[in-house]
Structure formats: C-alpha cells, structure tokens
Amino acid sequence: METRTEDTAKNRRLIYYLSILGFFAIFSTTISKSPVLPLFATGLGSDAAFIGLIAAFSPLAGMLFSFPIGVLSDNLGRKKLLVASGAVFLTAPLLYLIVQSPVALIPIRFFHGFATAILGPVVSAIIAERFTRNKGEMLGIYSSATLVGRTIAPLAGGAIIGFFAAYPGLFEYHAVYLAAFAASIPVFALVLFYKEERHKAKKAAAFQSFKKSFVSFFSNRSLRATALVDMATYFTFGSFETYMPLLMVSEGFSAYYIGLVFSIQVISIALTKPLFGKWSDRTDRRIQIAIGLLMLGGSVAMIPVFPGLMEFIALSMLAGLGMSLSTVATSAFVADIAKKEELGASMGALSSIMDVGQSFGPVVTGAVIASFSYTAGFMSSLVVSIAVAVFFLASVYKKDLTAAEPKN
C-alpha cells in the first residue's frame, strides 16, 4: 500500500513537472507566431500567399522528423531527445532578430519547428507509458497546461506589439521574439534536470528500428485513420491561425483584439481538455474524435460569414471545443492500440502526419483565398473535415474496440 502511494505521488509530481515544461515551451513557440508572424512577414513586404508558405515550414519539420524522433526515443531514451528540443527552444527566437526579408523567415521557421517536433511525441510517449489506466485524463492535463501558455502568448504578443507600435522599424516585432527567448530559458533548464526511468537501449540498428516501426504503424488501419484525423484537425487549425489575423485586420481590428480572440479560443480548449480526456477514458473514443473534428471544421467555415467581434469570439470558442474534444482522444486512442515497445514511434508518426495537415493547411487555404475569397478558403476546412470524419468512422468502427486491432 505504501509503495502504491509512493508511486502515485511520484506520478503526480511527474505530470506537474511535464505540465510546467509544456507551459513555457508552448508559450515560447506560440508568441513567436501568433499573432506576430503574419504581421511581421507583412512588415517585411510579404503577401498573403507567401505568408502561407512561411507558416508551413514550422510544421514541416515535425512532418519530416517527428516519426524518426519517436523511433530514436524508443531506442535511446526520452531525455536525450528532450535536451535537444530544449536547445532549439533556446536558440531559435534569437534568429528572428536578424531577419531582413520574408524569405529568411523560411529556414528559421523550419529550425524552430524542430522544438515541438521533438517535444510533442516524446512527452506524449512518457505520459502514455506511465499512466496506463487514465492516459486520456493525464494527456488532457498536460495539454491544458500547454494551452495555458498558448492562451497567454497571443495576448502578450498583441500587447507587446501595441506597446511598441510607436517605435520605428520592426522593433515592435523584435520585442516579441525577445519575450519568446526569455520564456525558453526555463524550458532548457527543466529538460536538463529531467530524471528518466531506467531505459534499456535496443540493439537493433537505427534503420532496422525505423523500418520495423514504420511498417507496424502504417499497416495498422486504425492507426492510419486516427493519424488522418489529426492531419485534418491541424489542416483546419493551421489555416485558422494563419489567416484569422489577416481577416480581422481587413475588418479593422487591432492586434490586441486579434490576440484576444485567439486567447479566448485557447482558454476554451485548456479548460475542457482534462474533462474531455477523462470522458474519453470512460466512453467510446472513436465517436468523440469524429464529433470533435466536425465541430471544428463547421465552426471555422462559418467565421468569414459573420465578421463581427462577438461572432468571431463565439465561433472561435466553438472551434476550440471541437479541437479539444478530438485531439485529446486521438493520442489516447493511438496509445490504446499501438505496440508498447513502439509507443514513441507511434506518437511520432501521429505528430508527423498532424504536421502534414498544419503545413498544407495554410498553403491550400492561402491559394484558395488568393483565387476566390476568405469564405471559400475557410470553407475548404469543412470539406476536409467531413471527408476525413467519414473515412475514420468507416475504418475504425466495430462493436468491440478490442476487436478492431489486436492489442500488443
């Protein structure tokens, strides 16, 4: 009984530790892009289509490297990867200070994307393997902590831009990136002091491990379909966070109100993720995932139709609830059906495919907006959401979840 109590206390300390780490990490990356990135790029002379291309390069790093990183964490241990992530968090914000043209933002965004490309799947794997019976709830708690950082960041970024708006040149944007650097300092310190449980290094060669994990994940129909849901979710969210600021500017709103809308949305996600995570531990995760995706896509599609501040806030909150409902269940669902020894690889694959959506969302939406209108651009998210939700349910729905895929 005493050992069980000690284990419970240890796990509680772990989730607090990871939550603090996640808060500062996501605050740092979010303030670097929302709402400052499209405004900074515009100040450098970029147009809407090129802004979409710039925005795509941060998640592109995750798309290309999250899966290999997950495989490495299964083989080498989690801490080494966390330290590498912390180093990127620490150095990337300073690079924005030397940018002189929109093109220079592309390699910087790509490099900055490594930070979350590493952190996301590694922390998800840590939580999923340590909390077997309530992984949905614990993933929700961690995610909510990161979302607190995501909530505060746009408000802080908008306030900083507004405070320094009278300063000449690009100083108002540079001040935001200095704030991102300050927030990255505790991230680096926390990953250095993280204590990993005993890890047995695998003898398999890196390529063999990668190939085995790749085949295992993508031969599993339920895992593929779940990853596709995350792709559609972040296709929609990537489009929203890139073009919502520009839509609001076109409607006459200041940077402060843009930050306010983003922050209220993220508050709705942060407050509900632990609840939705706990709910997913007790109900059918598959139905929850589909409902959340459809709610997100429908809300985003309606945003250009009702261009008022209160309407923007209401629809953004509804989109946030849909995102919360879906994403907290997808990671837990993957952990339910993935092989235990390939948990990091599975979380990495999920993150990589998620980043495919976040990379292509701004590009596709930007092209549609440039060719037609904001209404058509945002409507593309609903089309993608409906198609993927139908495919997901057709792929995973069976009466008995355990029969859907063999538990390894």
CA dihedral angle for residue 252, residue 254, residue 259, residue 262, rounded to 10 degrees:
0
Residue 6 in this model has a pLDDT that exceeds 50:
no
Contact 342, 323 (CB under 8 A): no
23-37, 328-342, 359-373, 377-391, range with the lowest pLDDT = 328-342
Residue 355 in this model has a pLDDT that exceeds 80:
no
Q: What is the DSSP string of 323-384?
A: HHHHHHHHHHHHHHHS-GGGHHHHHHHHHHHHHHHHHHHHHHHHHHHHHS-HHHHHHHHHHH
Residue 210 in this model has a pLDDT that exceeds 60:
yes
119 vs 138: CA distance, rounded Å? 16
> Domains along the chain?
10-191+219-397 (1.20.1250.20)
Tokens 């909390």 appear where?
Answer: 131
Structure tokens belonging to residue 254: 């200041």
Higher pLDDT, 378 or 407: 378
Q: What is the pTM of this model?
A: 0.73
pLDDT of residue 133: 75
> For 321-333, what is each residue's pLDDT tens digit?
999 899 888 888 8
pLDDT of residue 86: 96
pLDDT of residue 10: 73
* Mean of pLDDT over the chain: 84
Contact 196, 78 (CB under 8 A): yes
Phi, psi of 175 (to 5 degrees): -65, -35
